Structure 1
Amino acid sequence: MTETSSDPLRLEIAAAAARLIADGGLDYASAKRKAARQVLGDGAPKGSMPDNDEVDEALREHLDLFDDDHASRVTRRRQAAAALMRRLAAFHPYLTGAVWKGIVAEHAPIHLQLFHDNPKDVEIHLLNDGVRFDVETTPHFRDRSRDEVEAIVFWWRDEPVMLSLYEQDDLRGALKAGAAGAERGDLPSLLARIEAAAQASGARR
């Protein structure tokens, strides 16, 4: 939670952004801008824009209330992510994004960040595994002013996947926890989250 998370205006924009992410498939930045226009018109006061943590909280609440498949989708995509990370272990995979956080709208892919110095090795590995994929680009997770990195997108076990490809040096500093905790995790960290979620679910029954 941020110091301004009780600001009703920020919370209203966060809730509107959450609906746009869940129902329209928008990314966070686009959803926040569109939500601010919906709530305030073109003149948004300074400081009224919610941060990503506030949108995360609103999105989790929205999905828990209106998406009956949310909990099972989180479990399903985390399990698929774990299996895929095992297959891609040579490329130092880390899970990030919606599936790592456990806030998974229907369109949200399993997002793995791979840290390996030759992207072609990853492509060859996938081709040898019979995976058909498309190649796109995505902003660098640490510095959006830098060149975009290669992103490989495909479906695996009926789940959407995006692999973003980084050099091994990019892993240094990547595991520092932010205000909301770690932004990514390796396979043991993911398995710990799966186990914790299973225990919490069992305790609620």
Structure 2
Amino acid sequence: MKHQDMRRRIAHAAARMLAEDGSLDYGSAKRKAARQLGAPDSNNLPDNLQIEEALRSYQALYQADETRAQLALLRQVAIEYMEQLAAFDPHLTGPVLNGTAGRYADINLQLFTDDQKDVEFLLMRQASPYQAGEQRTPDAAGRAYPRFIIDDPRAPVDVVVYPAAELRNMKRLQADGSPRRLRLPQVRGLI
């Protein structure tokens, strides 16, 4: 019981950091919260689902109006980019999808195409500047995928491009049964 209470306290402290600061990811926030609460050992760290639940609670209590408005804006921006990138089977993922996006959230898009270079050619023709890089994923040992961070003034748009066949191999649902990603028609239904 003592461990469960500490996990809950760490989850809520991490959620507060994520909501107020925005510069941390879930892993960094929970490690920092654990240090602040005097529980640096990994036995007490909550999982990401517990952090997400605590973040939802925090936002509902302290940032309800701001979160609702920000989420609506970010979802609208996501739809705009998904429409522009429609030829590459765009999927929305991350906090804009799951509803925990706050003032510091990025829009996370995954594209699935065998024409990966065409994505960058399209981005070159767009008005917003972007940075190109690569994304390494822990579940695909040693594989790197093209990544573009579009500098939109409303919110950064983080785009990772996967081969079309990768979609079949990716998990479809989160641990809580919610979808990991949605296509454009389903995202429109969220507005």
Q: TM-score surpassing 0.5?
A: yes
Normalised to the residue count of structure 2, the TM-score between the two structures is 0.88
Normalised to the residue count of structure 1, the TM-score between the two structures is 0.82
For residue 130 of structure 1, report the CA deviation from its aligned partner: 2.5
Q: Within 2, Cα distance between the matches of 1:73 and 1:178?
A: 23
Please, which runs of 5 or more residues in structure 1 have no aligned partner? 195-205
Q: CA RMSD in A?
A: 2.1
Count of aligned pairs: 187
Deviating above 4 A after TM superposition, structure 1's stretches of 4 or more consecutive aligned residues are none
Q: Within 1, Cα distance between the matches of 2:7 and 2:39?
A: 14
TM-superposition CA deviations, 1:152-175 (whole Å, max 9, x none):
112336222110111111111335
The correspondence of residues 66-105 of structure 1 with structure 2, limited to 5 A, is 66-67=62-63, 68-105=65-102
Q: Within 2, Cα distance between the matches of 1:15 and 1:148?
A: 33
Q: Within 2, Cα distance between the matches of 1:19 and 1:95?
A: 25
The correspondence of residues 120-139 of structure 1 with structure 2, limited to 5 A, is 120-139=117-136
Verify the 8 A CA contact 1:13 1:35 in the aligned structure 2: yes
The correspondence of residues 35-114 of structure 1 with structure 2, limited to 5 A, is 35-42=33-40, 44=41, 46=43, 48-67=44-63, 68-114=65-111
Please, which runs of 5 or more residues in structure 2 have no aligned partner? none
150-159 or 52-61: which moved more? 150-159
Change (3 A) 1:139 1:17: farther
Verify the 8 A CA contact 1:175 1:182 in the aligned structure 2: no
Give secondary structure in 2 for the equivalent of 1:113. Answer: strand
Change (3 A) 1:80 1:45: closer
14-23 or 108-117: which moved more? 14-23
**Seq. identity, %:** 35
Give secondary structure in 1 for the equivalent of 2:189. Answer: helix
For residue 63 of structure 1, report the CA deviation from its aligned partner: 2.0
TM-superposition CA deviations, 1:55-85 (whole Å, max 9, x none):
0111112222222411000011111111211
